[in-house]
């Protein structure tokens, strides 16, 4: 376990809660992520070798999205897809489309402003179309280190109302039917193009 100044970060937390305790009883900022290691090829991934997002961007002008994503929109800096393996209607992924970039601070100021502007436009479109109670923007890149942001609409009945979504709880093993996914993507495209 990681220690800070010789003390485990959770020391004293368990003692303050009576009865049976689990990690989910802890405040979100005290929860421990299960141990795992960075992939052996992490340096290669960061350098763009075999990048899944770069491959998706290179497909027939990016609009042939495959089974998991449906293309929504291209801006000057980003390409937006609708995720089909989602329990949350309107879950989009906004990706940097102008080459392999890992971190937003790697962009020059104009490109960074363009990325954020287009990301926020997607958020507004998702909010207008799906009317969630909240939007979460998750910029991770811990598995695929290519600049992208998950735009996650939150609903009253979602997997973690009032708290952060545990990773994976927003995903479904079932694909959103293609006709429905394409209709949602078209609705969002109209909003983004207006």
Mean pLDDT for the chain? 83
pLDDT at 121: 98
Alpha carbon distance 99, 54 (integer Å):
7
> Residues in the chain, how many?
194
Place 49 in a pLDDT band, splitting at 50, 70 and 90: very high
Beta bridge partners of 8: none
All domains of the chain in start order, with CATH: 42-193 (3.30.428.10)
Alpha carbon distance 70, 111 (integer Å):
25
CA distances for 14 relative to 25, 27, 122, 135, angstroms: 9, 11, 41, 32
Other C-beta atoms lying within 10 Å of the C-beta of residue 99: 10
Alpha carbon distance 158, 160 (integer Å):
6
In the chain, what percentage of residues exceed pLDDT 70? 78
Q: Comparing 12-16, 117-121, 190-194, which segment has the lowest mean pLDDT?
A: 12-16
What's the pLDDT tens digit per position in 112-144? 999 999 999 999 999 999 999 999 999 999 989
Handedness of CA 144, 60, 114, 88 (dihedral sign): negative
Alpha carbon distance 121, 75 (integer Å):
10
Task: Please give the model's pTM, rounded to 2 decimal places.
Answer: 0.80
CA distances for 63 relative to 67, 80, 194, angstroms: 12, 10, 20
Please compute the mean of the pLDDT values over residues 33-37 and round it to a whole number: 67
Helix (H) or strand (E) holding 70: strand 69-74
pLDDT at 159: 86
């Amino acid at each position: 376990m990681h220690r800070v100044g010789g003390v485990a970060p959770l020391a004293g937390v368990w003692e303050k809660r009576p009865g049976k305790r689990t990690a989910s009883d802890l405040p979100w900022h005290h929860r421990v992520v299960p141990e795992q290691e960075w992939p052996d090829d992490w340096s290669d991934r960061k350098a763009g070798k075999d990048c899944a997002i770069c491959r998706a961007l290179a497909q027939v002008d990016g609009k042939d999205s495959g089974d998991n994503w449906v293309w929504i929109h291209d801006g000057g800096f980003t390409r937006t897809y609708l995720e089909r393996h989602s329990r949350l209607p309107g879950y989009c992924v906004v990706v940097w489309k102008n080459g392999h970039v890992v971190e937003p601070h790697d962009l020059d100021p104009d490109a960074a402003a363009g990325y954020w502007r287009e990301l926020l436009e997607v958020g507004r479109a998702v909010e207008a179309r799906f009317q969630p109670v909240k939007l979460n923007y998750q910029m991770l890149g811990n598995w695929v280190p290519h600049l992208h942001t998950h735009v996650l609409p939150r609903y009253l009945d979602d997997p973690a109302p009032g708290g952060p979504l545990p990773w994976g709880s927003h995903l479904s093993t079932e694909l959103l039917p293609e006709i429905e996914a394409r209709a949602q993507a078209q609705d969002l495209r109209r909003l983004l193009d207006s």
